[in-house]
Amino acid sequence: MNPSAGSPWHRVGTIDGLKQRELQSLIIDGQPVALSYKDGRFGAISGNCPHAGGPLGDGQLAGENIRCPWHGWSFNRCNGTSGLGYPIAVPSFELKEEDGALWVRFDTATPAQVLQREPHPLTRPVRREPGPVRVFGISTTGMDAEAPRYSTSDDLLAVALDHARESLGCETKLIKLAELKFRHCEGYYSKAAPACTWPCSITQMDAEDGLEPVYEALVHWADVVLVATPIRWGAASSLYFKLAERMNCIQNQLTLNDTALIQNKVASFIITGGQDNVQGVAGQMLAFFSELGFTFPQFPFVAHSRGWTAEDMENNVRFVQTNEELRQGTRELATRAVATARALLDAADQPKHVARGGRKACGTAATAGEAESPLSLNPQLSTLNHPETSPD
């Protein structure tokens, strides 16, 4: 059978050929389709997941449901309804088998259903509220909460925050990563760039993800970010790198939308340890935070190390506790960072778009200032929990 002009039916392919694959992505007359074949029956639903646009046809069959390869949302392979009972659905399409071929029509598709939810609070436009300079301290040292120890990096971070608050008139906030429960980055970017969303996909799906207050402070609250880390085998702490991986969602908005979530913000670093490689640790941190969009003051870090052979840690602790020159240097770092932040905030005409060179240069004219929201996914669905949990 060959459809006449104006026929609603579109030829998909030969039945024998289409039976060879349990699930596949197809484009038919410009329409993305997730086509499945199981137990002698074909099913066809929209190929785009309503969460973040994941390709359903590239997912997996789990019983009668198609599981999205990006974030695990699932839909019945034949009728498009939620595989977990949510009040959401993707369109499903009518099929027929004739003359050894499979045919589909789109004009009789079942309607999509979306769950009307308030957008995640992190998706609001980034606008600085009036007030004094705000300094956010992040401790990345690991610690046993039941038996806390003295930390040289934490001690100097406290010195910096106290100085910012008491001598510079700033608002301050401290978060210790060791006190938060948050999951490792699960590599959604490795599946596809749009799968790494803002807010972080994990934060959206896991109501107990402890990193939300860190995102809130970094993107919406702080003018200055002070990151303190010990040196662990010549590198920053494992908690620092766990945080850095979860901040890919911030940098990825530049890649996807040319949207800079970090604007007019200053970063500085406190680095201490019994081992050497201060410059290597500082270099990594400077490169990473510059890619997020942070600005740095002159001399953007303070550091202390007694070198590779200094194994007498008790003397290292004693030095940091009693050395006034190191503590004064930390206060001066805070002063430089706050002064840089004030200069940025006082600038009369801040550019809304900054061209980036090299392989990450972007030619679009979109800017964070022009966008109502940096969200790259359906805002009505942005606060649904993980598909393994209830949306309520």
> Which DSSP string corresponds to 160-212?
HHHHHHHTS--EEEEEEGGG---PPP--HHHH-GGGS-SS-HHHHH-TT-TTH
Q: What residues contact residue 349 under an 8 Å CB cut-off, 6+ apart?
A: none
**With a threshold of 0.75, does the pTM exceed it?**
yes
Taking each helix axis as running N to C, give the angle between helix 313-322 and helix 152-166, from 0 to 180 degrees, rounded to the nearest 10: 10
Reported as a single tens digit per residue, the pLDDT across 192-225 is: 888 899 999 999 888 889 999 999 999 999 999 9
- 75 with 45: CB under 8 angstroms? yes
Reference 268, options 280, 286, 288, 243; nearest CA is: 286
Architecture of domain 121-381: 3-Layer(aba) Sandwich (3.40)
Domain over 9-105 is classified CATH 3.40.50.970: no
Q: Where are the alpha helices (DSSP H) in the chain?
A: 15-18, 152-166, 188-191, 201-205, 212-215, 238-246, 248-257, 278-292, 313-322, 324-346
**Which of 164-168, 217-221, 372-376 has the lowest average pLDDT?**
372-376
**Which amino acid, residue 138?**
I
Q: Please provide the size of the chain in residues.
A: 392
Reported as a single tens digit per residue, the pLDDT across 286-312 is: 999 999 999 999 999 999 987 776 777
Backbone angles phi, psi at 224, to 5 degrees: -125, 135
- 224 with 164: CB under 8 angstroms? yes
Q: Where are the domains of the chain?
A: 9-105, 121-381
The pLDDT of residue 257 is 84
Query: How far apart (Å, rounded) are the C-alpha atoms in residues 203 and 246?
Result: 10
Helix (H/G/I), strand (E/B), else coil: 14: strand
